[in-house]
Chain A
Amino acid sequence: MANLASDFAGIKSPNPFWLASAPPTDKEYNVTRAFKAGWGGVVWKTLGFDPHIVNVNGPRYGVVHGADRRVLGINNIELITDRPLDVNLREIKQVKRDWPDRAMVVSLMVPCEEEAWKRILPMVEETGADGVELNFGCPHGMSERGMGAAVGQVPEYVEMVARWCKANTRMPVIVKLTPNVTDIRHSARAAFKGGADAVSLINTVNSITGVDLDLMAPEPTIDGKGTHGGYCGPAVRPIALNMVAEIARDPETAGKPVSAIGGIGTWRDAAEFLALGASNTQVCTAAMTYGFGIIKEMTAGLSRWMDEKGYERVSDVVARAVPNVTDWQHLNLNYVTKARIDQDACIQCGRCYAACEDTSHQAIAMTEDRRFEVIDAECVACNLCVNVCPVEDCITMERLPAGTVDPRTGKTVEPGYANWTTHPNNPMAKAAE
């Protein structure tokens, strides 16, 4: 049986699944339920100083649904905790005492002054918590007050606050990054330069989920007005995957502990993040959509998959896929594929045809009796038909072996590897050795 135990920047938990700082970790009641269900740890809902903030009293979430009202993404305009600091601290202390084997990390957001951090850190330390996470990500509300993303978007501030915290606590410091930047690597580098032990990402993505066309107002709508909120859930996972990978393959930050957040809800989502360099994961929207019970699938699934693959511990998986994340210019241009349609699996919906005929390369032929066939002489292997086909594995990509002629280009497929850097069409091409 695979060992799921996790050691993240010195913080131990029985599995690499934590709940992200958000409503699921807002108070003792929720967190106790989460631990009972099997979650490995939590990042407590972000604390700030009293007087505690207030939330709107109307709807704070908007949603994007997929077919069958499946929740694809949620956007929120909730702020940090709206409960008094001492209440939170007392509860944190109690829960940590009751659940010593679970990770208890406390998320913090206080004004961008060293005094403020100096004041709050000892209070957290006193609870016995395992670490702190600096919320530099919240994209709405708090950023208007010079906190959250307003700090996270300026690498110099990230570094500075990280340094203050490291100087004022013995606890591991995790810096939570905002995705609302052009290059996540600058934020990560700054955090580590400031001495942070780890980074976590992503916080939510700035967004408007919809517009009420009768009220002519963005959703969620509060008395006829709306504001941009933070988007999360399965829809943001691809953004998070890329950002995690960027940090993992950046020579300046490679190998540093990364806690992955963003659209994780199954063992597979988590495994993908681990493979791209994260060493643990955090979950918010999936728990908010389905409840804490999903942890059972995540732990059982990850453990089974690791057994199948012969991975004994989580660290065996971490960053396995990172060497295969490369730049476009290094992709093999001698890798030639063609789409193949499995006629037995095909249900003749014609979506591949519409996609290819209207928007791609006119490489699918349709007969009168609705048989769809790939025209190799036109197929550029873009994968669009594969993507839009409703039947899994009905259309697949097949590689042309070296030595065969690609009917589209009339050229023989070359063996070996050749990329753009040596391609004759590249004005900057280096002569092949």
Chain B
Amino acid sequence: MTNSPTTPGIVAGRLAPQAIAENFADIAPDFDPHEAAVAADRCYFCYDAPCVAACPTEIDIPLFIRQIQTGQPEAAGQTILDQNILGGMCARVCPTETLCEGECVREAAEGKPVEIGRLQRYATDRLMANDGHPYRRAAPTGRRVAVVGAGPAGLACAHRLAMHGHDVTVFDAREKPGGLNEYGIAAYKTVGGFAQAEVDWLLKIGGIELRHGQALGRDVTLDGLRNDHDAVFLGMGLAGVNALGVEGEAREGARDAVDFIAELRQSDDLTKLPVGRHVVVIGGGMTAVDAAVQSRLLGAEDVSMVYRRARDRMSASEHEIDHAATAGVRIITNAQPVAVHGNGAVREVEFAYTRDNGKGGLESTGETFRLKADQVFKAIGQSLEGAPDGLTVERGKITVTGPGRTGLDGVWAGGDCAAGGEDLTVTAVAQGRDAAEDIHARLSA
């Protein structure tokens, strides 16, 4: 190996292959049966359990944990998947500390919740390994539904519709299905090709045709889809990326964090993935955390994550931020970028300290500082791109009412592209599922 964390520029192989493999190993490995039994035993089987209310898909958590206790992890898996067909992915990626586990009464009692996420993985992994695909399609209805986007929202919608006997065609712009499960989520949360394995497993229901390389607005139009189908569900996520709007942001070495992450997720040899020596990540959400942490794990010497407001305003959870800090990411708050400096390629990023302007906005304190940077990742948010005409878009999201109904008759939307809920995998699943039920009700009427 010739490169090291201190090799200048953006280079691959900063760490030995062994170190990279360890860094990107499963962050929360599957429980063994003994660990699962001990963890499951801690559940109190609460009445009207707060954890259930905190889960956007409302999985019956006490029930599934009791099923693990009684030696039937596959039954537990079924309980989970009945509510959340991507329960396997959610078990890995949900910020449980702000969802189910955050509400666990043992969190209140002991500061140590029941490990719901890991128990969920224990159950779903076993069901998927031992039971195959447990759902059967209802008798065919002859109804056709188009789903745009094969991310969590689109897949959850498609599966539920297929289960009700409708014929579903999923159009996705990318080469692979899964949406951000495949291109976005941090690599160490979903190792071993789980995202594709889960999609393959989900499609076993039958009745879902996947068309990749088909972008709405480029290859197909909403009008076309509406003409050919009885209903349309839009789950195309947020394909656009917000720009910093500062001088020099197009310099070589500055790029969107989501592109870097997608490249990382698609790499089959992380020792060949280049990363800067000095990395600066701009943003305070999950994307920023993931770009920063994974840069460190690839061997960047120093990584700073800079957010313009205070720490408690970051959209990444406390747990994620701690994770970044533990990975050696320096977290700087109350600073916003002013310019990206360099001579062709990026050399430094200049920031100004900020404070609350008392009107809900920010103002510069006038004080500035510069961070060395070979590589800059922009992670200040994704945006809705190419929403078809005729839909109402408010604050960057498609307006919906109830279970994902848009203003257009026969068109539903859910997931990141639609208003309502947090931008999380589990929220997308819930919205896709609920829209499917609403579509089904409409088509059955």
Partner-B contacts on A (CB < 8 A): 68, 266-268, 290-291, 293-294, 296-297, 300-301, 304-305, 345, 391-392
In the complex, A392 Cα to B35 Cα: how many Å? 10
A297 touches B63 (CB 8 A): yes
Of B37, B41, B42, B66, the residue contacting A297 (CB under 8 A) is B66
A300-B67, A345-B34, A392-B37 known; 4 other A-B pairs, CB under 8 Å?
A268-B70, A290-B45, A296-B60, A392-B34
A304 touches B74 (CB 8 A): yes
Identify which of residues 128-185 in chain B touch chain A, using a CB-to-CB cut-off of 8 Å.
none
Residue of chain A at shortest CB distance from B44: A290
B66 touches A294 (CB 8 A): yes
Q: In the complex, which residues of chain B have a beta carbon less than 8 angstroms from the beta carbon of A294? A: 45, 66
In the complex, A300 Cα to B37 Cα: how many Å? 19
In the complex, A268 Cα to B69 Cα: how many Å? 11
SS of A interface (majority): helix
Q: In the complex, which residues of chain B have a beta carbon less than 8 angstroms from the beta carbon of A267? A: 70, 72
In the complex, A37 Cα to B152 Cα: how many Å? 32
Q: Are A297 and B34 also in contact (CB < 8 A) when A290-B45, A304-B75 are?
A: no
B71 at the interface (CB under 8 A from A): yes
Residue of chain A at shortest CB distance from B70: A266
In the complex, A181 Cα to B423 Cα: how many Å? 64
A297 touches B70 (CB 8 A): yes
Size class of the B contact interface (CB-based, 8 Å): 20 to 34
A-B contact pairs, 28 of them (CB 8 A): A68-B41, A266-B66, A266-B69, A266-B70, A267-B72, A268-B70, A268-B71, A291-B45, A293-B45, A293-B47, A293-B63, A294-B45, A296-B60, A296-B63, A297-B63, A297-B66, A297-B67, A297-B70, A300-B75, A300-B79, A301-B67, A301-B70, A301-B72, A301-B75, A304-B75, A391-B34, A392-B33, A392-B37
Q: In the complex, which residues of chain B have a beta carbon less than 8 angstroms from the beta carbon of A296? A: 60, 63
Of B42, B74, B75, B78, the residue contacting A68 (CB under 8 A) is B42
Identify which of residues 1-56 in chain B touch chain A, using a CB-to-CB cut-off of 8 Å.
33-34, 37, 41-42, 45, 47
Partner-A contacts on B (CB < 8 A): 33-34, 37, 41-42, 45, 47, 60, 62-63, 66-67, 69-72, 74-75, 78-79
A300 to chain B, nearest CB (A): 6
Q: Are A305 and B72 also in contact (CB < 8 A) when A293-B62, A297-B66, A297-B67 are?
A: yes
Q: In the complex, which residues of chain A have a beta carbon less than 8 angstroms from the beta carbon of B71? A: 268
Residue of chain A at shortest CB distance from B42: A68
A265 to chain B, nearest CB (A): 9
A317 to chain B, nearest CB (A): 16
Residue of chain B at shortest CB distance from A292: B47
Q: In the complex, which residues of chain A have a beta carbon less than 8 angstroms from the beta carbon of B60? A: 296
B2 to chain A, nearest CB (A): 40
Closest 9 CB pairs of A and B: A266-B70, A290-B45, A297-B66, A304-B75, A268-B70, A291-B47, A301-B72, A296-B63, A300-B75
Q: In the complex, which residues of chain B have a beta carbon less than 8 angstroms from the beta carbon of A345? A: 34
In the complex, A356 Cα to B381 Cα: how many Å? 63
Q: In the complex, which residues of chain B have a beta carbon less than 8 angstroms from the beta carbon of A297? A: 63, 66-67, 70, 75
In the complex, A305 Cα to B71 Cα: how many Å? 10
Q: In the complex, which residues of chain B have a beta carbon less than 8 angstroms from the beta carbon of A68? A: 41-42
Residue of chain A at shortest CB distance from B60: A296
Q: In the complex, which residues of chain A have a beta carbon less than 8 angstroms from the beta carbon of B47? A: 291, 293
Q: In the complex, which residues of chain B have a beta carbon less than 8 angstroms from the beta carbon of A300? A: 67, 75, 78-79
B59 to chain A, nearest CB (A): 13
B86 to chain A, nearest CB (A): 21
- Candidate in A290, A293, A392 with the most chain B CB atoms within 10 angstroms: A293
In the complex, A392 Cα to B69 Cα: how many Å? 13
In the complex, A66 Cα to B43 Cα: how many Å? 14
In the complex, A391 Cα to B75 Cα: how many Å? 23
Q: In the complex, which residues of chain B have a beta carbon less than 8 angstroms from the beta carbon of A301? A: 67, 70, 72, 75
Q: In the complex, which residues of chain B have a beta carbon less than 8 angstroms from the beta carbon of A293? A: 45, 47, 62-63
B276 to chain A, nearest CB (A): 43
Residue of chain B at shortest CB distance from A345: B34
- Candidate in B33, B67, B79 with the most chain A CB atoms within 10 angstroms: B67
In the complex, A86 Cα to B34 Cα: how many Å? 53
Q: In the complex, which residues of chain A have a beta carbon less than 8 angstroms from the beta carbon of B75? A: 297, 300-301, 304
In the complex, A392 Cα to B41 Cα: how many Å? 14
In the complex, A392 Cα to B62 Cα: how many Å? 23
In the complex, A294 Cα to B46 Cα: how many Å? 11
Q: In the complex, which residues of chain A have a beta carbon less than 8 angstroms from the beta carbon of B74? A: 304
In the complex, A128 Cα to B369 Cα: how many Å? 85
Q: In the complex, which residues of chain B have a beta carbon less than 8 angstroms from the beta carbon of A291? A: 45, 47
Residue of chain B at shortest CB distance from A394: B34
In the complex, A294 Cα to B65 Cα: how many Å? 11
In the complex, A391 Cα to B63 Cα: how many Å? 24
B79 to chain A, nearest CB (A): 8
B124 to chain A, nearest CB (A): 16
Residue of chain A at shortest CB distance from B79: A300
In the complex, A296 Cα to B45 Cα: how many Å? 12
Residue of chain A at shortest CB distance from B74: A304
In the complex, A215 Cα to B42 Cα: how many Å? 33
Q: In the complex, which residues of chain A have a beta carbon less than 8 angstroms from the beta carbon of B79? A: 300
Q: In the complex, which residues of chain B have a beta carbon less than 8 angstroms from the beta carbon of A392? A: 33-34, 37
Q: In the complex, which residues of chain B have a beta carbon less than 8 angstroms from the beta carbon of A266? A: 66, 69-70
In the complex, A268 Cα to B72 Cα: how many Å? 10
B66 touches A304 (CB 8 A): no
In the complex, A305 Cα to B69 Cα: how many Å? 14
B62 to chain A, nearest CB (A): 7
Residue of chain B at shortest CB distance from A303: B75
Residue of chain B at shortest CB distance from A268: B70
B64 to chain A, nearest CB (A): 9
In the complex, A273 Cα to B395 Cα: how many Å? 61
B337 to chain A, nearest CB (A): 51
Q: In the complex, which residues of chain A have a beta carbon less than 8 angstroms from the beta carbon of B70? A: 266-268, 297, 301
B53 to chain A, nearest CB (A): 15
B36 to chain A, nearest CB (A): 11
Q: In the complex, which residues of chain A have a beta carbon less than 8 angstroms from the beta carbon of B45? A: 290-291, 293-294
In the complex, A291 Cα to B71 Cα: how many Å? 20
Q: In the complex, which residues of chain B have a beta carbon less than 8 angstroms from the beta carbon of A305? A: 72
In the complex, A290 Cα to B44 Cα: how many Å? 8
In the complex, A391 Cα to B71 Cα: how many Å? 15
Q: In the complex, which residues of chain A have a beta carbon less than 8 angstroms from the beta carbon of B62? A: 293
Residue of chain A at shortest CB distance from B62: A293
B422 to chain A, nearest CB (A): 28
In the complex, A115 Cα to B280 Cα: how many Å? 92
- Candidate in A266, A291, A297, A391 with the most chain B CB atoms within 10 angstroms: A297
